[in-house]
């Protein structure tokens, strides 16, 4: 039932170069080694690549920057900073900002982290079940990073995650909340990520997309589809665009109408996607993108 490739015809992904705004988020092809990934993108006419710190630091940040730049690819975003409930959050996020700058990524994606946990590893009354306080802290922590982000020219992009991640991964659960947190800071320093997987269920998202566009805060736009049933832990249950129930085209139209003209990343986490060869996954990703949002 939960097939991240459902209804997707790979052949249409191989038929012609990727659409102009298509960008591959490398998490979708997680096990594709960096050099092959870059080659594969070139072969498929992909011009934008979203990267993750885990892989770029393993491969070497400078080496990755050289490889990607040498191939003429743009790095569309770096995932991820955030997790502001961790003790070393400040130093780690400074490093992440510097890595984004070195890679030429205009955007560092921030996943805020969940509720603070007590010694048992669970949120407790004393450690803080107060989700409002946890969200306020995220805003304050981001503020402390703003001067450095502005200095090196990287936009910190707050990503609201689906409310099912609110306790343990990201207390920022709606686009409205993300924009509230971004409000005090200049849009060059703090923006938001719109990831269809996380926000599709929200009837207020359309108004908030307009608000995000009007304030110049759409820093990153990502596509993934919602498929069920969700797997244990719910992290690796996304479908490629077109395999699920999200009105992806409606999102593309709304984000375009809000004035965003940048890359559209496809970011899918799913074991059944990761276990297939990189070139096949890329072809399926392009095919799903094309079927969902056209030749954008």
Q: Does 177 bind a copy of itself (CB under 8 A)?
A: yes
Given candidates 34, 75, 145, 166, which one binds a copy of itself under the rule CB under 8 A?
166
Contact 3, 237 (CB under 8 A): no
Before 237, cis peptide (omega within 30)? Answer: no
| Residue 251 DSSP class | H
Rule CB under 8 A: is residue 173 a binding residue for a copy of itself?
A: yes
Q: What is the dihedral of CA 183, 186, 188, 193, to 10 degrees?
A: -10
Please choose, out of 80-88, 128-136, 142-150, 213-221, the segment that lies near a copy of itself by the rule CB under 8 A.
Answer: 128-136
Asked if 130 interacts with a copy of itself (CB under 8 A), we say yes
DSSP 112-163: -B-S---TTSS--TTT---HHHHHHHHHHHHHHHHHHHHHHT-EEEEPPPPG
At 57, list the tokens.
Answer: 């630091």
Which CB atom, from 234 or from 257, has the smaller least distance to a copy of itself? Answer: 234
Q: Cβ distance 178 to 202 under 8 Å?
A: no
Residue with smaller CB distance to a copy of itself, 16 or 201: 201
Burial of 131 (0-12, 13-18, 19+ CB in 10 A): middle
Give yes or no for residue 233 binding a copy of itself (CB under 8 A).
Answer: yes
Q: Please tell me whether residue 201 binds a copy of itself under the rule CB under 8 A.
A: yes
> Whole-number minimum distance, CB 6 to a copy of itself, in Å?
7
User: Is there binding between residue 183 and a copy of itself (CB under 8 A)?
Assistant: no
Q: Minimal distance in Å, beta carbon 48 to a copy of itself?
A: 26
Choice from 88, 121, 147, 261 touching a copy of itself (CB under 8 A): 121
Of 110, 66, 69, 105, residue with least CA distance to 89: 110
Half-sphere exposure of 11 (CA within 13 A, CB side): 0
In the list 13, 81, 82, 123, the residue contacting a copy of itself (rule: CB under 8 A) is 123
CB 55 within 8 A of CB 63: no
83 near a copy of itself, judged by CB under 8 A: no
Select the residue interacting with a copy of itself from 15, 62, 86, 122 (CB under 8 A).
122
Chosen residue from 115, 218, 219, 224 binding a copy of itself by CB under 8 A: 115
Q: Does 208 bind a copy of itself (CB under 8 A)?
A: no
Determine the size of the site formed for a copy of itself (CB under 8 A).
Answer: 41
| Binder of a copy of itself out of 234, 271, 294, 295 (CB under 8 A) | 234
What is the spatial distance between Cα 262 and Cα 193, in angstroms, rounded to a whole number? 12
Binding residues (CB under 8 A) for a copy of itself: these are 1, 6-7, 115, 120-124, 129-132, 135, 162-164, 166-168, 173-174, 176-177, 200-203, 226-234, 244-247
């Amino acid at each position: 039932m939960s097939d991240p490739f459902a209804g997707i015809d790979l052949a249409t992904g191989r038929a012609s170069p990727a659409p102009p705004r298509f960008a591959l988020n490398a998490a979708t092809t997680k096990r594709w080694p960096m050099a092959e990934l870059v080659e594969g993108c070139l072969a498929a006419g992909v011009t934008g690549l979203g990267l993750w710190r885990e892989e770029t630091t393993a491969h070497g940040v400078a080496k990755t920057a050289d490889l990607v730049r040498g191939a003429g690819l743009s790095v569309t975003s770096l995932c991820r900073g955030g997790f502001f409930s961790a003790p070393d959050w400040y130093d780690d996020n400074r490093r992440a900002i510097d890595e984004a700058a070195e890679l030429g990524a205009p955007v560092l994606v921030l996943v805020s982290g969940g509720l603070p946990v007590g010694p048992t590893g669970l949120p407790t009354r004393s450690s803080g079940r107060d989700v409002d306080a946890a969200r306020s802290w995220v805003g304050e922590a981001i503020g402390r990073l703003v001067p450095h982000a502005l200095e090196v020219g990287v936009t910190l992009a707050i990503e609201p995650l689906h409310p099912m991640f609110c306790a343990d991964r990201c207390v920022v659960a709606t686009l409205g909340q993300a924009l509230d947190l971004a409000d005090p800071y200049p849009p060059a320093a703090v923006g938001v990520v719109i990831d269809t997987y996380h926000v599709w269920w929200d009837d207020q998202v359309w108004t908030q997309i307009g608000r995000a566009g009007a304030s110049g805060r759409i820093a990153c736009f990502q596509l993934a589809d919602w498929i069920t049933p969700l797997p244990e832990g719910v992290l690796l249950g996304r479908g490629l665009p077109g395999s699920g129930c999200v009105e992806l085209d409606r999102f593309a139209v709304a984000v375009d109408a809000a004035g965003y003209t940048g890359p559209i990343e496809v970011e899918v986490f799913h074991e059944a996607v990761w276990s297939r060869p990189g070139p096949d996954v890329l072809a399926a990703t392009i095919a799903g993108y094309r079927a969902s949002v056209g030749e954008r």
